[in-house]
């Protein structure tokens, strides 16, 4: 990277989160990359594997405002975004901010909210603002939403609509830890949970500076074409009913830049794109029902596409 201090800051952030999340280095790196890319992250996995802990560890590692929203079926849009209240003493309305007005927001069990409440998040995720009674209110910067959901338990849940899934830069899964890592988890929590000892290692201005640096990571034209070929291949795959949108291509590029920054490079290589293709595109693809019955997953499609689309060659002649 061009700025060694930024590389050091990224490394410190990753190491800090890994004091809580054991044995999931790749997932932690991708979560940090999502923050650096300026997007939002959806963590989808079974209960008890550390979804909420990953979100809390990220939040506590940043010296920024943090709010947690526990999504339930009776949660209203105004409970998230805020509401206009009439002040009798002044004879005018004022806006009372909801919990979405924070630098880091944990949207816990997001699929338990009704579609109406989920829809209220679309403007927040995409435009980073809230509109109430015709007035737009800008959300604080940096703004990073970490949403969690349980894909197994469907009672009392509402499926996230495609439009909302598309607003998340990445969808990651943690999975079960390896046996030795699980022993390490037990050892660390004998007296107290390590999340209690996490201290901030970055502040808001540093996060914004890191995000600006990521946007300056160089992407050759041939790599941009490679990205578009990957997303286009998802649209023409026989198992796919609806392929990844141009927002998927942009997500691939942004995450590719972020992964290059995490690797302390100021240029993107094909491996950066391949590392994040599944988490960037898997949730943006809708499969045909007959292929779903056969057990085909969107992740399978992306993996197949990566094997069929040819990587660009001769990179490096125009790196900046």
DSSP tag of 195: G
**Helix, strand, coil distribution of the chain in percent, nearest 5:** 50, 15, 35
**Pairing label, strands 135-138, 129-132:** antiparallel
Flag whether 210 is in a domain: no
Write the pLDDT tens digit of every residue in 289-312. Answer: 999 999 999 999 999 999 999 998
Write the pLDDT tens digit of every residue in 189-234. Answer: 888 888 888 899 998 899 999 999 999 999 999 999 999 999 999 9
Residue from 249, 257, 254 nearest 232 by CA: 249
Average pLDDT of the residues in 69-94: 87
Q: Which one has a higher pLDDT value, 154 or 250?
A: 250
Q: Are 277 and 248 in contact (CB under 8 A)?
A: no
Q: State whether 76 and 159 are in the same domain.
A: yes
Average pLDDT of the residues in 255-277: 95
CATH number of residue 227's parent domain: 1.10.8.80
Whole-number pLDDT of residue 161: 78
Alpha-carbon span 282 to 51, nearest angstrom: 19
Q: Quick check: 154 pLDDT over 70?
A: no
Q: Please state the length of the chain.
A: 320
Long-range contacts of 112-117 (CB under 8 A, 24+ apart): 112/71, 112/72, 112/73, 112/156, 112/157, 112/158, 113/71, 113/72, 113/73, 113/75, 113/158, 114/73, 114/75, 114/158, 115/158, 115/161, 116/77, 117/71, 117/75, 117/76, 117/77, 117/79, 117/80
Tokens of 210: 């890191």
Q: State whether 144 and 42 are in the same domain.
A: yes
Residue-averaged pLDDT of the chain: 89
Q: Which one has a higher pLDDT value, 1 or 102?
A: 102
Q: Total structural domains in the chain?
A: 2
Burial degree of 3 (CB within 10 A; 0-12, 13-18, 19+):
middle
Flag whether 72 is in a domain: yes
Q: State whether 221 and 177 are in the same domain.
A: no
Residue from 33, 92, 80 nearest 265 by CA: 33
CATH number of residue 55's parent domain: 3.40.50.300
Write the pLDDT tens digit of every residue in 237-247. Answer: 999 999 999 99
Whole-number pLDDT of residue 1: 45
Q: State whether 268 and 131 are in the same domain.
A: no
Flag whether 195 is in a domain: no
Alpha-carbon span 178 to 23, nearest angstrom: 7
Q: State whether 231 and 133 are in the same domain.
A: no
Domain that holds residue 59: 1-181
Flag whether 22 is in a domain: yes
Q: State whether 3 and 126 are in the same domain.
A: yes
Q: State whether 3 and 112 are in the same domain.
A: yes
Residue from 259, 297, 192 nearest 10 by CA: 259
Q: State whether 227 and 300 are in the same domain.
A: yes
Q: Give this prediction's pTM.
A: 0.89
Q: State whether 157 and 227 are in the same domain.
A: no
Q: State whether 26 and 110 are in the same domain.
A: yes
């Amino acid at each position: 990277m061009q700025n060694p201090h930024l590389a050091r800051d990224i490394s410190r952030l990753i190491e800090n989160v890994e004091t809580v999340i054991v044995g999931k280095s790749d997932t932690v790196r991708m979560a940090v990359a999502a923050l650096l890319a300026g997007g939002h992250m959806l963590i989808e996995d079974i209960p008890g594997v550390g979804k909420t802990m990953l979100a809390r560890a990220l939040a506590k590692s940043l010296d920024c405002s943090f709010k947690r929203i526990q999504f339930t079926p009776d949660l209203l849009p105004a409970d998230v975004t805020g509401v206009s209240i009439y002040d009798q003493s002044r004879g005018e309305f004022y806006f009372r901010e909801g919990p979405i007005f924070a630098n880091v927001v944990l949207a816990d069990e997001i699929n338990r909210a009704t579609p109406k409440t989920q829809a209220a998040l679309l403007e927040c995720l995409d435009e980073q603002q809230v509109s109430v009674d015709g007035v737009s209110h800008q959300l604080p910067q940096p703004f990073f939403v970490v949403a969690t959901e349980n894909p197994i338990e469907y009672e009392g849940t509402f499926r996230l609509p495609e439009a909302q899934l598309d607003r998340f830069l990445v969808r990651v899964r943690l999975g079960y830890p390896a046996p030795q890592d699980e022993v390490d988890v037990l050892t660390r929590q004998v007296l107290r949970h390590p999340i209690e000892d996490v201290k901030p290692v970055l502040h808001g201005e540093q996060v914004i500076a890191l995000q600006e640096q990521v946007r300056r990571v160089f992407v050759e034209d041939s790599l941009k074409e490679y990205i578009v070929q990957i997303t286009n291949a998802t649209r023409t795959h026989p198992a796919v009913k609806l392929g990844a949108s141009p927002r998927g291509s942009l997500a691939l590029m942004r995450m590719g830049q972020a992964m290059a920054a995490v690797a302390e490079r100021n240029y993107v290589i094909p491996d950066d794109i391949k590392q994040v293709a599944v988490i960037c595109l898997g949730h943006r693809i809708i499969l045909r029902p007959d292929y779903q019955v056969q057990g085909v997953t969107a992740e399978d499609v992306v993996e197949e596409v990566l094997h069929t689309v040819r990587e660009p060659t001769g990179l490096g002649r125009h790196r900046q």
